[in-house]
Amino acid sequence: MDFWLKDCKIVPENIEISICIEDGKIRSFKKIAPRRAEIMNMKGSVILPGLIDAHVHLRDPGLTYKEDFRTGTSAAVVGGFTTILDMPNTIPPTNTRRAFLEKLKIARKKSLIDFGFHAGVDNTIHIKKINDLRPVSFKVYMDLVEEDFLTDIFKSISKIDDDKPLISLHCEDKKLIKNYTEKEKRKGRFNPEIYANARPPLTEATAVSNALSLARDYGLNIHICHVSTKESINLIKKAKKSNINVTSEITPHHLLLNLSYLKKCGNFAKTNPPLRDNENKIDMSYLSNIDIIGTDHAPHTVTEKEKNIWDAPPGIPNLETTLPLLLTEINRHNMTFTDLKRLICENPAKIFNLKNKGFIKEGKDADIVIVNMKKEGLINPDDFKSKAKYSPFKGFKTKGMPIMTMVRGEIVMEEGEILKNQGKFVYD
């Protein structure tokens, strides 16, 4: 069955076209939709490729009191995302074939949108076996693993015969964090902004440099998650010039918030790496040097967040705030639709090899978000579909809102209402 989306505004070109969708794919484009076919009139609304979030923590299995595949993908679809790539720090962690298959089963049942998984590594003997199941990458937390083990991981992955998988890295140096944290804790203070002193920019720069050296030495592709400082971006820029295969990701909070929010919002703004002061933080002028925006949607309960600064878990839920916040920046002329599409649709599809995603082009999946650029809103965590009802963006005024999300031609969100759908593994 085919149908037409009539009079969609394509950006940045600002032209109106009609799109034919058949069997969940984009079939063709026409200036004027044919009369008799089934038609939905978009009346000149802006359309974007469905957003791809390469960095989410949906907490399923094992931590479903924080989030699960249904609530997490409900939040995603309200926020205009049609594909998510889930992180491995669930219980059990996605470190083995068995855990990967278990997560696949859960997601096939509960996910409203399409999904892929990053695999974790706790023992290199599992790498080859789990790689056959096609994780989008192997994720390594440099704040948690020893240097020798990190080297072992690169070594093992470099020995895989066929296509070598991507390595995603959380770049904060374990040893430095330990030293700085002990020093801060000795002071016996509990005001939230001291958390940033426990993981200063140097901890990130050190880990980024190590990761880049390993990528060079082993000839592997790496993706650096949630880069938070100008210095890290500059290191990555230099590495790219010397032909190291590296891509970078930033989060909406590291882009739009500074250290003062840790003071203002307390643990609701606590995340790893921490928010940075204006001198160190990335700003809009750095966008052209960044490859993707990932939300690092990392939900926790409000009760957990109410613990003291050292005991409260790090993480911010972002699936529902990211697109309205970025559309607001476009309305303010701080970024462009070209940036948005590149950072959160096209590049995630390229980096993680999602062949049918990321572009509104003939033959691609009909993953589409329709946005109303004039619709105003106020960020209110009580309205979140996510189980994590807090946000450092609480009270932010937005202009520009996703009003419809379509996954492979099925409407899954309309005006904030969620409809049934069955998400699919991205490589099936």
Binding flag, residue 296, Zn ion (CB under 5 A): yes
Contact between 315 and ligand NCD by CB under 6 A: the answer reads: yes
Of 35-43, 76-84, 103-111, 312-320, which segment contacts ligand NCD by CB under 6 A?
A: 312-320
Crossing angle, helix 147-158 and helix 201-218, to 10 degrees? 30
Q: Is 289 left (phi over 0), alpha (psi -120 to 50) or beta?
A: alpha
Q: Which stretch binds ligand NCD (CB under 6 A): 36-44, 310-318, 375-383, 415-423?
A: 310-318
If the CB atoms of residues 8 and 222 are measured against Zn ion, the closer one turns out to be 222
Q: Which alpha helices (DSSP H) does 33-126 contain, by range? A: 69-78, 97-110
Concatenating the DSSP letter of every residue in 247-274 gives EEEE-HHHHH--THHHHHHGGGG--SSP
Out of ligand NCD, Zn ion, none, which partner does residue 272 contact, by CB within 5 to 8 A per kind? Answer: ligand NCD
Residue 57 φ/ψ region, left for φ over 0, alpha for ψ in the -120 to 50 degree band, beta for the rest: beta
Which residue, 24 or 313, has its beta carbon nearer to Zn ion? 313
Among 103, 118, 170, 357, binds ligand NCD (CB under 6 A): 170
Residues 6+ apart with CB under 8 A from 372: 45, 46, 400, 401, 403
Binding residue for ligand NCD, selected from 90, 247, 272, 405, defined by CB under 6 A: 272
DSSP assignment string, 109-156: HH-SSEEEEEEP-SSGGGHHHHHTT--SEEEEETTTS-HHHHHHHHHH
Please, which of residues 242-271 interact with ligand NCD by CB under 6 A?
Answer: 271
Please give the residues from 171 up to 230 whose contact with ligand NCD meets the rule CB under 6 A.
Answer: none
Residue closer to ligand NCD by CB (options 57, 103) is 57
Q: Does residue 298 touch ligand NCD according to CB under 6 A?
A: yes
**What does 421 interact with, of ligand NCD, Zn ion, none (CB < 5 to 8 A by kind)?**
none
Residue 296 makes contact with ligand NCD by CB under 6 A: yes
Find where tokens 């593994």 sit. Answer: 425
In the complex with ligand NCD, which residue's Cβ is closer, 24 or 313? Answer: 313
Which of 210-218, 230-238, 307-315, 317-325 is the region at the interface with ligand NCD (rule: CB under 6 A)? 307-315
Segment near ligand NCD (CB under 6 A), from 26-34, 75-83, 117-125, 308-316?
Answer: 308-316
- How far from 419 is each of 19, 49, 207, 412, CA to CA, in Å? 22, 19, 43, 5
Structure tokens at 37: 């076919």
Q: Quick check: 53 binds Zn ion (CB under 5 A)?
A: no
Tracing tokens 């998510």 back to the chain, one arrives at 84
Question: Which residues carry out catalysis?
Answer: 296
Q: How far is the CB of 316 from Zn ion (least distance, A)?
A: 10
Neighbours of 316 (CB within 10 A): 28
The residues of the shown chain that bind ligand NCD, judged by CB under 6 A, are 57, 89, 170, 271-272, 296, 298, 313-315
